[in-house]
Amino acid sequence: MNILVCLKQVPGSTKVDIDETTGVLKRDGVDSKMNPYDLYALEYALSLKQEGDTITAFSMGPNQAIDMLKEAFGMGVDEAVLLSDRALAGADVLATSYAISQGIALLGDFDLILCGKQTTDGDTAQVGPELAQWLSLPHGANVIKIEEITDSDVTITLTTELGSQTQKLPRPCLLTIEKDANTPRLPSYKKLQATKDKEIRILGVKDLKDKDPKHYGLNGSPTQVERIFPPSVNTDKILHQGTPQELTKAFVNALKEARFL
């Protein structure tokens, strides 16, 4: 079986502040890490691996994502591919999922494509299902468990609004894996050493079947960020200061005014 896992490198800290007076973004460090949600997808792929199976890690992002793919080697993936190109900058969900689908299409056939359920930086949970649509594969989102894999189908249990549902999807298909579906392993030092010179295949837009730059990055994105701004501030707030007794009086008054007492 050939399994492809999509991985994304995300900022190590999600803390981005905005300077109120200048409106400039301030960052807390620039370190990066593997998207924590992707660890569950990667662990699932590795746990399904049997002799003769190939696990391929696929990522899209700046060259710096090579570090993350090396870490994936250290966890046990067999191949790693990075789609990296300035032309991909500013991509929204549609343009991102399209570019990834173009990259995956170059790599041959997969029986299963696994993704994390969302990323910690974008937080949309949309790339997985959109990727499935571009690849014309059925998908299951928020998968808690892969129950059974046969030659023709994959049986999964996924989260629903009211509980869970068990479905049988035809193979190949794409699954986004729920957080805590398993316990992700750590990279092994031995494997990291053994794979440190292993080649990572780098793809650019020129390698893809569709080379039209209008379909990628900001140009291929239907959504556009018009502006960014700090969250709104409630200007007619009341700030009580004083002794606990004074604050208690103010609290009781607030509850009375709103008729909670």
Edge to edge, the sheet with strand 2-7 lists 153-159, 139-149, 173-177, 112-116, 2-7, 54-60, 79-83, 201-203
Q: Please state the closest distance from residue 261 (CB atom) to another protein, in A.
A: 7
Q: Please state the closest distance from residue 238 (CB atom) to another protein, in A.
A: 5
Within 8 A by CB and 6+ apart from 224, the residues are 218
CB 45 within 8 A of CB 54: no
Q: Please state the closest distance from residue 52 (CB atom) to another protein, in A.
A: 27
- Nearer to another protein by C-beta: 72 or 87? 87
Within 8 A by CB and 6+ apart from 56, the residues are 2, 3, 4, 5, 77, 78, 79, 80, 81, 107, 110
- Nearer to another protein by C-beta: 190 or 206? 206
- Nearer to another protein by C-beta: 20 or 109? 20
Q: Could you tell me which residues are beta bridge partners of residue 58? A: 6, 81
Q: Please state the closest distance from residue 210 (CB atom) to another protein, in A.
A: 13
- Nearer to another protein by C-beta: 108 or 170? 170
- Nearer to another protein by C-beta: 162 or 186? 162
C-alpha–C-alpha distance, residues 237 and 247, integer Å: 15
C-alpha–C-alpha distance, residues 169 and 127, integer Å: 19
Q: Please state the closest distance from residue 194 (CB atom) to another protein, in A.
A: 29
